[in-house]
Structure 1
Amino acid sequence: MRRAVRAAAMLLTASVTAGMLSGCDAARATVSRVVDGDTVDVVVDGREQRIRLLNIDTPETVHPDEDVQCLGPEAAAHLRSLLPAGTEVEVLVDEETTDRYDRVLAGIRLDDGRLVNAEMARAGLALPMQVGANDRFLPEVEQAHAEAVAAGRGLYDPEIGCTVPGQVTAVEAAATGLATPAGAGTAEQADTAAAGAAAVAATALALHSALSSDAPRDGLVWAAVRDRDDRPAMAQRARTAAGTAEDRADGHRATARELRTPPPPPAPTTSPRPTTGSTGGTASAPRQSPATRQRPRPAPAPAPEVRDSGSSGGSGGPPGYTGPRCYAPGGKTWTPC
């Protein structure tokens, strides 16, 4: 029944497919060129047809309204490696055979039996997708995609910086690699280090917010982690990295403030007066002002000793004489002086 429906659909769209399939769901074709990760041109019966691979979605590279997405060039390159120009392939359609761009919706199988649609998912370069009733190749694609997730390939590779796991790894490495505040030599260097740490913190916080929110985000890299069980763990890793970077920024700001604060003036000290003269030696007495300086007084001369020679001492002086006396040698007799 399913095959009959496909055949009828193909007959109805024969003008679009230009006789590529005539009442059946498969045709031989030759690859002419790869357009991007999920689009390829083939030649059937001398006429070129554009094929859009069913049940996969790959990062954009040639969309007129979108930038080149993460791993878009890698997806196109991988499809070229699977479908070099001149490769003979089998083209298989499903319920709906064309899209609004008049591309043939199909799967491409190689002569060795591999489904190219599934091989793109197995490399981690395509996500499973179903549009309308076309689900013919979805089981093979989903199984291959599960292998890519388990192996961490492509959109799930933590070593590729543009993937979400890669972004988490990058902010962790950036936060742990920040310089410590003790390494700043000047206030300007500390300011620069603080600004760098703050930027890392802001990036990590934005990543944490995106991983914690259920709001849809553009890009296949975010679609790849939308339903992953480890998304909360990745969000927590981003928050931890943000905390580390914030601590570093605060430390550098404090260092900059310290480097800009002038040191306190030295405490006043009392210098002792020199205890020696200019020529050294013994200590000199404190100097006195001329007003307080006193001249030494001369010692009084000793009074001449008066000795009484008595009445029998000779006739050296009148009796009762008390004036000055001049003694003769030997000091026994005297005369008035």
Structure 2
Amino acid sequence: MSSSKSRQLVAIKFAGLATAAALAISGCNANTTNRDAATASLNASKNEAVVVRVIDGDTFVASAGGGEKTVRLLNVDTPETKDPNVPAECMGPEATKALEEFLPVGSKVVLELDKEPLDKYGRTLAGVLDSSGRLVNAEVARKGLGVPVLFEPNRKFYQPVVDAFEEARTAAAGLHSTSIACLPAQQVQEATKLVDSLVAGPLADNNLDLDKGHAGLVTALATVVALKAAAEANNLVHWAAYEPSQRNALVTRLTSANAAGSGRQTAIVAKKKALADVAAEAARQAADAAAAAAAQAAEAERVRNLPPVPAPYVPPAYVPPAYVPPAYVPPAPVPGPKYTGPRCYAPGGKSWTPCSKK
């Protein structure tokens, strides 16, 4: 539904209230004069209020019926700014400022109730019409600062808020912007981009750089996990502003980044173990070498401290004795018959031996 049609619906609702009031007072047929009179009567009724102060983007305090009441805009939800346990949410201050502009302090408004007038906190649940008849609930959504929400059984202003919200989505206003850094889509882009950069390239070959990479992944993945949990819970205004398909695409991207980052962490742990194993082996080899060197030095010292070793035995050179032929001793005469055969005399003719017969 277009913005003009939405405003027409609000104007019709407001005119209907005015007409009903006028008929109740005068009993006359509805006409322009009667509607004006009825509007004046309605403004004087208990549904008219004066703005005292704005609390946040969807809540304000009004003075009505002689007292003050806290009014919660029906069927629209804006980012939180008043939760004492968490910081102000993205676009929360902007929503508060917008409501302050829609509802200046001292301005008169009409509070239009639905089936259930109060919430569990005692706040008045209402559609709020400003002095020009605009439905402020829808105007907050039209600026892209709120999302449609149902407060069952109160559905009276839901569709006008939905129509205004769609206008803001088409215009990429507020929560639908692609340039506001604190919005989920941009946070997902930055977080996954950081993970991508941390898992790119080969692993370092030293523990210092590996530890830096691991620490960076721990921080980046914490953001990824938190964003994914928020997306899956879908209980924040910012995530509720996205179409289901867009939200699913963001969750898929976060899931992939988480898997890539976790895989890189596993690889870093394995690389560190491998480096530790190499270092341990090098240390073992160094220890073995040191032990061998120490043993060698100890042996050298032991040898150095031994008593002097005697000179090696060198046998005397062998000198063969001079040959001295033995003195000739003639054989003793052979006893027996006297030899009468030929005699062979030795040189000098002093001795002889029988000569063999030839």
TM-score, normalised by the number of residues in structure 2: 0.55
Q: Is the 8 A contact 2:114 2:126 kept in 1?
A: no
Q: Which runs of 5+ in 1 are unaligned?
A: 12-18, 269-289, 298-337
Helix, strand or coil: the match of 1:250? helix
Aligned counterpart, 2:127:
106
Is the alpha carbon distance of 1:137 and 1:153 closer, same or farther for their aligned partners in structure 2, counting shifts above 3 Å? same
Q: Is the 8 A contact 1:107 1:116 kept in 2?
A: yes
Q: Is the 8 A contact 1:56 1:141 kept in 2?
A: yes
What CA distance in whole angstroms lies between the structure 1 residues aligned with 2:253 and 2:52? 46
What CA distance in whole angstroms lies between the structure 2 residues aligned with 1:85 and 1:174? 45
Q: Does 1:39 align with 2:56?
A: no
Is the alpha carbon distance of 1:194 and 1:43 closer, same or farther for their aligned partners in structure 2, counting shifts above 3 Å? same
Aligned counterpart, 1:93:
112
Q: Does 1:234 align with 2:253?
A: no
In the TM superposition, what is the alpha-carbon distance from 1:34 to its structure 2 partner?
Answer: 0.7
In the TM superposition, what is the alpha-carbon distance from 1:82 to its structure 2 partner?
Answer: 3.2
Aligned counterpart, 1:140:
160
Q: 1:184-239 deviations in whole A, cap 9, x for unaligned?
A: 65x2442342243245345435644665x5xx5543334444x6222221121112
Q: 1:61-113 deviations in whole A, cap 9, x for unaligned?
A: 3357x645523333223322333334x344251444831425262323354x6
Aligned counterpart, 2:194:
174
How many corresponding residue pairs? 264
Q: Does 1:219 align with 2:236?
A: yes
What CA distance in whole angstroms lies between the structure 1 residues aligned with 2:61 and 2:118? 15
Aligned counterpart, 1:190:
210
Two-structure CA RMSD over aligned residues (Å) = 4.6
Indicate the percent of aligned positions where both proteins have the same amino acid: 30
Q: Which runs of 5+ in 2 are unaligned?
A: 1-12, 25-40, 290-310, 319-358
Q: 1:112-157 deviations in whole A, cap 9, x for unaligned?
A: x654222211233211123346444333311221133344444444
Q: 1:238-291 deviations in whole A, cap 9, x for unaligned?
A: 12212332343234334433443426459x9xxxxxxxxxxxxxxxxxxxxx86
What CA distance in whole angstroms lies between the structure 1 residues aligned with 2:80 and 2:162? 20
What CA distance in whole angstroms lies between the structure 1 residues aligned with 2:248 and 2:234? 16
TM-score, normalised by the number of residues in structure 1: 0.58
Helix, strand or coil: the match of 2:72? strand
Q: Which has the higher helix share?
A: 2
Aligned counterpart, 2:300:
none
What CA distance in whole angstroms lies between the structure 1 residues aligned with 2:244 and 2:183? 14
In the TM superposition, what is the alpha-carbon distance from 1:36 to its structure 2 partner?
Answer: 1.3
In the TM superposition, what is the alpha-carbon distance from 1:164 to its structure 2 partner?
Answer: 3.3
Aligned amino acid, residue 220 of structure 1: V
Q: Which moved more, 1:49-58 or 1:196-205?
A: 196-205
What CA distance in whole angstroms lies between the structure 2 residues aligned with 1:149 and 1:205? 27
Helix, strand or coil: the match of 2:254? helix
